């Protein structure tokens, strides 16, 4: 399949409707994904990125229907990660020696993965590649999200090829931001940001400011996953600036796991207390052991505070909570409050441990937490409700 975006610009990627896990098994992709690659035809013909390795043959067969492969003058490899570079080896067997434009770091990541000595042409920020009536302007974007990441701006058409930035894992036949289901698209864009780009918030903000300062006119943003931003493409840049600035919504999320429901009853009652104290706040509740961890990360990313509960199990917390907090540490979230709770039988270390673990990954712990021996009775549930009220009320003080 290929889709003409405008004269001389064709989408030649692959929509992966089946994908449910990305980065091995570590990132859920409930709505599939796409690997967007682009063919730019002027006096010279340029391929921007390729698709994931398992689809290499399909990609090349489709590409042949759009262009005689021998006509491809240059390849731009914006990122060495295999979802975009995975078809290069196969493609370059048909057109050996074709120059591959990429960053110095991409030479390392591509050689490190494919162990081939392609005709690398290293580009730096500000370098230009003339293709006839227009040119590519390159902007290095290290750590967005790999050291090798590159943005490529095409003059004339005024298109920013943004690689992973501004993308979503979202398979849609609609293809364009104005045609896609808006809530699905934005939810997937947020999940992508929270789980992949949030650790690099500071760099995202700096890079966006750097690009905005270039005052480049912008008609389209073509990311390597999900929709093409053609209607008001600035909207996703503005959204990224909000997300990059220690984002939060008026949301408190209660996260817990439980073996015999004591901690669950605490969680539900704490949530009631939160809602009582602040009817306007969005309260969400998740059993961490049952819920998709990447969806929880997205909810925490959207929250101003989290309340986290675990029973004590062999002097420790349940592994689902330990896993979640470890993952939250990887996301480097700032400006968020937390409190801990949990049921216990005899030694009851979980709450204190949760406090320590949450502090270590950057959450501001607002109190000592709440423990209940065995299953909570009415009086103890009242203290849970009060615990929730206090947590919510603290924000309005
Ligand atoms: C396998 C297992 C290990 C436990 N280890 C501890 C422990 O080390 N210290 C403690 O205080 N309670 C321990 N408990 C007791 C639980 O914390 C207690 O039953 C608590 O009420 C369970 O909360 P829940 O209903 O939310 O699962 C253990 C319970 C189980 C089933
Ligand atoms: Fe990537
Ligand atoms: Fe990617």
Q: Residue 146 is part of a domain; what is its CATH number? A: 3.60.15.10
How many of the other CB atoms lie within 10 Å of CB of 35? 22
Mean pLDDT of 141-155: 97
Same domain, 174 and 268: no
171 and 191 share one domain: yes
Distance 332 CA to ligand 1 centre (A): 30
Residue located nearest, by CA, to atom 20 of ligand 1: 344
Mean pLDDT, the chain, whole residue set: 98
Residues 283, 151 share a domain? no
Using the 3D structure, point to which of 200, 220, 244 is the last residue of a domain: 244
Q: Which two tokens stand for residue 234?
A: 């600035």
Q: Which of the four pLDDT bands, split at 50, 70 and 90, describes residue 4? A: very high
Ligand 1, atom nearest to 314 Cα: 8
**Alpha carbon separation from 281 to 148, 385, 391 (Å, rounded):** 41, 16, 12
For residue 13, the SS3 value is coil
Answer yes or no: 115 catalytic.
no
| Residues 235 and 307 grouped into a single domain | no
Last residue within a domain, chosen from 211, 226, 244: 244
Q: Within 13 Å, how many C-alpha atoms sit on residue 390's CB side?
A: 14
| Among protein residues, the one whose CA lies closest to atom 15 of ligand 1 | 345
Distance, in Å, from the CA atom of 64 to the CA atom of 308, rounded to the nearest integer, reads 54
Backbone angles phi, psi at 224, to 5 degrees: -90, 0
C-alpha dihedral (84, 87, 93, 97), degrees to nearest 10 = 0
Among residues 16, 74, 79, 101, which one is catalytic? 79
Q: What CATH number does the domain containing 354 carry?
A: 3.40.50.360
Same domain, yes or no: 387 and 343: yes
- Same domain? 256 vs 240: no
The catalytic residue among 81, 157, 188, 257 is: 81
DSSP state of 158: T
* Residue 242 burial (10 A CB sphere; 0-12, 13-18, 19+): exposed
Residues 184 and 316 occupy one common structural domain: no
Range of the domain at 150: 3-244
The minimum-distance atom of ligand 1 relative to the CA of 344 is: 17
Residue 260: burial class (beta carbons within 10 Å; 0-12, 13-18, 19+): exposed
Pocket of ligand 1, candidates 320, 345, 380: which has the most ligand atoms within 8 Å of its Cβ, to mutate?
Answer: 345
Q: Which two tokens stand for residue 288?
A: 């961490």
CB neighbour class for 362 (10 Å; exposed up to 12, middle 13-18, buried from 19): middle
* Residue 268 is a catalytic residue: no
Give the separation between CA 23 and CA 349, rounded to whole angstroms.
Answer: 34
Q: Would residue 58 show up in a list of annotated catalytic residues for this protein?
A: no
Q: Smallest Cα–Cα separation from 353: which of 389, 324, 315?
A: 315
Are residue 141 and residue 231 in the same domain, yes or no? yes
Mean pLDDT over 3-25 rounds to: 98
DSSP 36: -
Q: Which two tokens stand for residue 215?
A: 């005052």
**Boundary residue ending a domain (227, 244, 261):** 244
User: pLDDT by residue (tens digit) across 257-278?
Assistant: 999 999 999 999 999 999 999 9
Summarised one tens digit per residue, pLDDT across range 194-220 is: 999 999 999 999 999 999 999 999 999
pLDDT tens for residues 286-344? 999 999 999 999 999 999 999 999 999 999 999 999 999 999 999 999 999 999 999 99
The gap from C-alpha 128 to its chain's centroid, in whole angstroms, comes to 29
The verdict on 227 and 263 lying in the same domain is no
Q: Are residues 302 and 237 in the same domain?
A: no
Length of the chain: 397
User: Is residue 397 scored above 90 in pLDDT?
Assistant: no
Residues 239 and 303 in one domain: no
CA distance 12 to 2: 5
Catalytic residue of the set 84, 101, 169, 225: 225
Residue 23 annotated to the active site: yes
| Residue tagged active-site, from 83, 140, 148, 157 | 83
What is the mean pLDDT of the segment spanning 132-152? 97
pLDDT of residue 314: 98
Q: Confirm if 255 and 308 have CB atoms less than 8 A apart.
A: yes
Q: What is the pLDDT of residue 332?
A: 93
Q: With 90 as the cut, is the pLDDT of residue 36 above it?
A: yes
For residue 259, report the phi and psi dihedrals to the nearest 5 degrees: -100, -45
Q: Which residue among the candidates 35, 145, 169, 286 is catalytic per the annotation? A: 145
213 CA distance to ligand 2 centroid (A)? 25
Q: Which residues line ligand 1 (CB under 6 A)?
A: 258-263, 311-315, 343-348, 374
Give the ligand whose atoms come closest to the C-alpha of residue 312.
1
Taking a C-beta distance cutoff of 8 angstroms, is the pair 88, 60 a contact?
Answer: no
Q: Which atom of ligand 1 is nearest to the CA of 261?
A: 25
Q: Please say if 377 is a catalytic residue.
A: no
* 84 a catalytic residue: no
How many domains are there within the chain? 2
Per-residue pLDDT tens digits for 228-244: 999 999 999 999 999 99
Residues 52 and 166 in one domain: yes
Atom of ligand 1 nearest to the CA of 263: 26
* 52: pLDDT strictly greater than 90: yes
Please give the distance, rounded to the nearest whole angstrom, from the Cα atom of residue 383 to the centre of ligand 1. Answer: 20
């Amino acid at each position: 399949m290929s889709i003409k975006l405008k004269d001389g610009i064709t989408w030649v990627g692959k929509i992966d409707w089946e994908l449910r896990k990305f980065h091995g098994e570590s990132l859920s992709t409930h709505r599939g994904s796409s690997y967007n690659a682009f063919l730019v035809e002027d006096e010279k013909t340029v391929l921007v990125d390729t698709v994931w390795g398992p689809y290499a043959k399909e990609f090349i067969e489709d590409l042949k229907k759009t262009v005689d492969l021998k006509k491809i003058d240059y390849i731009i490899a914006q990122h060495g990660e295999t979802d975009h570079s995975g078809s290069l080896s196969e493609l370059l067997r048909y057109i050996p020696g074709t120059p591959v434009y990429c960053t110095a770091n991409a030479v390392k990541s591509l050689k490190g993965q494919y162990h081939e000595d392609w005709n690398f042409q290293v580009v730096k920020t500000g370098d230009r590649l003339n293709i006839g009536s227009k040119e590519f302007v390159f902007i290095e974007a290290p750590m967005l999200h790999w050291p090798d990441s590159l943005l490529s701006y095409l003059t004339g058409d005024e298109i920013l090829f943004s690689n992973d930035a501004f993308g979503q894992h979202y398979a849609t036949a609609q293809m364009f931001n104005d045609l896609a289901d808006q809530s699905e698209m934005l939810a997937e864009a947020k999940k992508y940001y929270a789980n992949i780009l949030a650790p690099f918030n500071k760099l995202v903000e700096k890079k966006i400011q750097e690009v905005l300062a270039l005052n480049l006119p912008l008609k389209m943003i073509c990311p390597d996953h999900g929709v093409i931003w053609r209607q008001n493409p600035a909207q996703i840049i503005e959204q990224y600036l909000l997300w990059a600035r220690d984002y939060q919504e008026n949301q408190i999320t209660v996260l817990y796991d439980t073996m015999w429901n004591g901690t669950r009853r605490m969680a539900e009652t704490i949530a009631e207390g939160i809602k009582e104290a602040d009817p306007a706040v969005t309260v969400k509740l998740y059993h961490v052991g049952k819920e998709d961890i990447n969806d929880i990360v997205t909810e925490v990313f959207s929250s101003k505070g989290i309340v986290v509960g675990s029973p004590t199990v062999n002097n420790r917390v349940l592994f689902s909570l330990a896993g979640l907090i470890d993952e939250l540490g990887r996301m480097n979230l700032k400006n968020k409050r937390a409190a801990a709770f949990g049921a216990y039988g005899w030694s009851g270390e979980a709450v204190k441990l949760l406090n320590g673990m949450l502090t270590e990954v950057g959450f501001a712990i607002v109190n000592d937490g709440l423990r209940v021996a065995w299953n909570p009775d009415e009086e103890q549930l009242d203290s849970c409700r009060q615990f929730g009220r206090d947590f919510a009320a603290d924000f309005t003080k």
